Amino acid sequence: MKLKKVLAIVLIIAVLAVAAISLVACVDDENKKGENPAYPDIFKDSSDEVVNTPVAMSDIKVGFIFLHDENSTYDKNFIDAANAATAALGLTQDQVLFRTNIPESEACYNAAAELAEAGCDVIFADSFGHETFLLQAAKEYPDVQFCHATGTHAYDENVANFHNAFASIYEGRYLAGIAAGMKLKEMYGDANGAVSAANAKIGYVGAFPYAEVISGYTSFYLGVKSIVSNVTMEVIYTNSWYDETAEREGANKLIANGAKLISQHADSMGAPSACEQAGIPNVSYNGSTQASCPTTYIISSKINWEPYFEYMIRRVSEGKAIRVDWCGTIETNSVQLTEIGAAAAEGTAEAINTAKAELLNGTRKVFDITKFTCNGAQITEETMADVHGSDFKPDSYPVSDGEYKESFYRSAPYFDLIIDGITVIGNVGGQA
Amino acid sequence: MVAEKKKEKERLFHLVKRNDIEPWKKWIIRIASVIIAALLAGGIFAVVAKDSAAFGGFFKEMWKGSFGTQRLAYVFTSDWAILMCISLAVTPAFKMRFWNIGAEGQTLAGALGAAIILYYLGGKIVEPVVILFMFAAALFMGMLWAVIPAIFKAIWGTNETLFTLMMNYVAIQLTNFFVNLWTRGTQTTMGNLGNGTIHGILGIPYIQNAVIVAIVTIIIFIYLRYFKHGYELEVVGESQNTAKYIGINVKKVIIRTMLLSGVICGLAGFLLVGGSPTPTINAELVAGRGFTAILVSWLSKFGPLAMIFVTAFVVFLQTGAKQGSNTYHIGASSAYSDIIVGLFFLIIIASEFFLNYRIKFRKKEGK
């Protein structure tokens, strides 16, 4: 039968292809021990010289590429900041071009190229997966500036008009953790302020086991630990940035396991609303949930992108170079805490202010290596992190001066250690 | 009796089935429905944009979104080609009344096949060979995803709707598995995989997909209309017993037709990766086009030539509505463009009612 012959040929091709793949796939694994590669100071501009043609603020055109639209809290945070920043600089609506619902594929490249052709002087994209597509457009339009949030390639690629940006959100999470610690202490602390092991247990709903999420929950945990020293935390992943059911389910599972307080890093109201129902205090992310969770909302931390947008547009207008990598901080008002909730413990504001002042003057470090251990031991300067390249291998030494320097060698987080006291208990949901 | 009295009373209007509608009347009804939908869409747009001038702006934006610049027009042909290719793929199966709702997964499987080859061989051997392997792998994967449910249907009579739907999820998870493997568990999407693609023909960018799909359109048109295969699958669709009676091997026809369906989906998958200036793979690459294609195929009454225009119209609506909501800074832009596309289809499908039925009003003097 003809059909059989065709099938046989196709199968032979498939087998050959698999054989070829397995031959090529053996890549050598080697990690060289040495110094951290040079990296631009992501907290300072390298030069204030005019290198490009300045553009009058009334003529400038700014393009924004968003992964979703305002229905996603992640993108809404960027959209609101874009509106605020362009309004503050006096730009009119036809100077600001939005491209919403741009997936992480050819569509991003097409949108970026199209915006460049439409006369944009600077183009911004908000999602991690947009990066390589935006980079492709940056190479084709060298006179247009391209800025990308959360990305990691700007320094390695060395394309003059391509830039990364993020913020030291771990500091915000740490401060939110202090508010959580104060609440635990108020609810369960004895006369000396000590909390029993059973009550010093909290939970965290994370999206993916990525450095961004791990860095976030570790800093939150360390914030709690600075108030309640014997605290332990369970983490559950939803494997999605937005999955309301899985986030609710995850929070409920953590509560059933005995968590006395929950925080999360995912974009829906799943975890906060589960907490409100169960009467468990919640530390939110990316905005206050006071209105919908009046009895359980404690505080929330978020990245405010407005300062970066203003910086980026100003530099283009002045014809000055944009930093290769830009890291917003508490000082630049990029890392913010929202209002303290009605359910928060007394003295929360004071405790946060003290810690904040110490973070700002350098006497307190979030990832102080004397404050945590990994597998029972303090981490050393031999500890490695994946900061560079796209090979997903550790290549840098982030520990020095007694701290793990997060968002120091690049703005995007790279802390990916699971420290003692934190247990990952698994996944809920899947992607369907 | 009361009930009888009610029955006697003539209704305000009643419906009469009509079989004799003239073609020009048909087209007037269809064009009228599109105009009504467009007016409604423009009205909704003005309300959502909170700007009465947006009513006129809507039509301008619709045009600008698809043909405003040369690049947008090129991207339009490329988007048209992908949707057209998948619509062509589901057509033979639907004509056979094999409810293949797995085009999404078959296309994704094809794309994954191409991406696997590109990931491991790209840049290591000469480009034409990479592309050839990508092409073969994509067609094979697409075919595999279609033939498995077809074999189960032909031999054991399993429900193909559920089976093909479930195969979509298998393809999605398999794609996630590979992306997870390649990024060492740090990402859900791959970045730009670099070279290894056909991009542009004779210096015209983006056009390769449209050219390839145009050829496939002609082939499918001839296959369905002039080949014995095309006739056989239609008979199997009408009645399996008739098909058996006149000596058609029903099992063979089912498997053969799905094989074709899968191969064309695989081709669409290949074009998504190998026909892109920035090839990549992720679970959302097909972006629902496998389902939209079913609608397109149905609206075209399974005719490949009508499908050319229906596909262009759908892509035009989608990109236009997106452009409009972007220009007027409408917050929930995806929801808005879904509403517009949905509105058009609802009204067009509703207009079919008037093609099949005549409304007869009660005569006044009969009172």
Contact (CB, 8 A) for A395 and A415: no
- Cβ pair A114:B72 closer than 8 A: yes
Q: A36 falls in which pLDDT band (50, 70, 90)?
A: low
Given CB atoms, is A133 within the 8 Å cutoff of chain B? yes
Q: How far is CA B268 from CA B136, B143, B337, in A?
A: 12, 12, 24
Q: Where in the sequence of chain A do the CATH 3.40.50.2300 domains occur? A: 62-168+306-328, 169-303+336-355+413-427
**From B137, B184, B276, residue closest to A392, measured CB to CB:** B184
Q: Give the A window 70-99 contacts with B, CB below 8 Å.
A: 70-71, 79, 93, 96-99
A110 contact residues in B (CB cutoff 8 A): 71, 75
Tokens in use for B6? 């009610």
Q: Give the A window 352-411 contacts with B, CB below 8 Å.
A: 390, 392-393
- Smallest Cα distance from B361 to chain A, Å: 47
Given CB atoms, is B186 within the 8 Å cutoff of chain A? yes
What is the CATH topology of the domain spanning A62-168+306-328?
Rossmann fold (3.40.50)
- Cβ pair B326:A128 closer than 8 A: no
**pLDDT tens column, B224-270:** 999 999 999 999 999 999 999 999 999 999 999 999 999 999 999 99
- Smallest Cα distance from A248 to chain B, Å: 22
Containing H/E element for B244? helix B240-245
Q: A11 falls in which pLDDT band (50, 70, 90)?
A: low
Q: B367 falls in which pLDDT band (50, 70, 90)?
A: very low
Of B174 and B1, the structure prediction assigns the larger pLDDT to: B174
Compute the count of residue pairs across chains A and B with CB atoms less than 8 Å apart.
118
**pLDDT tens column, B298-316:** 989 999 999 999 999 999 9
pLDDT of residue A18: 60
- Smallest Cα distance from A326 to chain B, Å: 22
Residue range A169-303+336-355+413-427 forms a domain whose CATH class is alpha beta
3-state secondary structure of A201: strand
Q: Give the B window 286-305 contacts with A, CB below 8 Å.
A: 287
For tokens 């039968």, name the residue. Answer: A1
Q: A25 falls in which pLDDT band (50, 70, 90)?
A: very low
- Smallest Cα distance from A380 to chain B, Å: 24
Task: Report whether pLDDT(B38) > 50.
Answer: yes
Long-range (24+ apart) CB contacts under 8 A made by B179-188 are: B179/B281, B179/B282, B179/B283, B182/B119, B183/A392, B184/A392, B184/A393, B185/A209, B186/A210, B186/A211, B186/A392, B187/A128, B187/A129, B187/A210, B188/A129, B188/A208, B188/B282, B188/B283
pLDDT of residue A267: 85
Q: What is the ipTM of this complex?
A: 0.89
pLDDT of residue A26: 41
Q: A188 falls in which pLDDT band (50, 70, 90)?
A: very high
Q: Give the B window 17-76 contacts with A, CB below 8 Å.
A: 69, 71-72, 75
Sign of the CA dihedral A223, A229, A231, A232?
positive
Residue A284 φ then ψ, to 5°: -90, 180
Q: A33 falls in which pLDDT band (50, 70, 90)?
A: very low
Task: Report whether pLDDT(B6) > 80.
Answer: no
- Cβ pair B189:A99 closer than 8 A: no
Task: Report whether pLDDT(A31) > 60.
Answer: no
- Smallest Cα distance from B161 to chain A, Å: 17
pLDDT of residue B179: 94
Beta bridge partners of A283: A263, A299
**pLDDT tens column, B97-126:** 999 999 999 999 999 999 999 999 988 889
**pLDDT tens column, B202-225:** 888 899 999 999 999 999 999 999
B146 contact residues in A (CB cutoff 8 A): none
**pLDDT tens column, A158-167:** 899 999 999 9
The C-alpha atoms of residue B156 and residue A264 are separated, in whole angstroms, by 48
Q: B48 falls in which pLDDT band (50, 70, 90)?
A: confident
The C-alpha atoms of residue A104 and residue A267 are separated, in whole angstroms, by 18
Task: Report whether pLDDT(A23) > 60.
Answer: no
- Smallest Cα distance from A139 to chain B, Å: 13
Q: A421 falls in which pLDDT band (50, 70, 90)?
A: very high
Task: Report whether pLDDT(A389) > 80.
Answer: no
Give the lowest-confidence range in A14-23, A247-256, B333-342: A14-23
**From B187, B192, B285, residue closest to A136, measured CB to CB:** B192
- Cβ pair A133:B256 closer than 8 A: no
pTM of the model: 0.88
Task: Mutation target for A interface from B280, B284, B327, B330: give the one with most A CBs within 10 A.
Answer: B280
**pLDDT tens column, A278-293:** 999 999 998 888 988 9
- Smallest Cα distance from A21 to chain B, Å: 6
Beta bridge partners of A327: A166
Given CB atoms, is B249 within the 8 Å cutoff of chain A? no
A148 contact residues in B (CB cutoff 8 A): none
**pLDDT tens column, A91-127:** 998 899 999 999 999 999 999 999 999 999 999 999 9
User: What is the residue-averaged pLDDT of chain A?
Assistant: 89
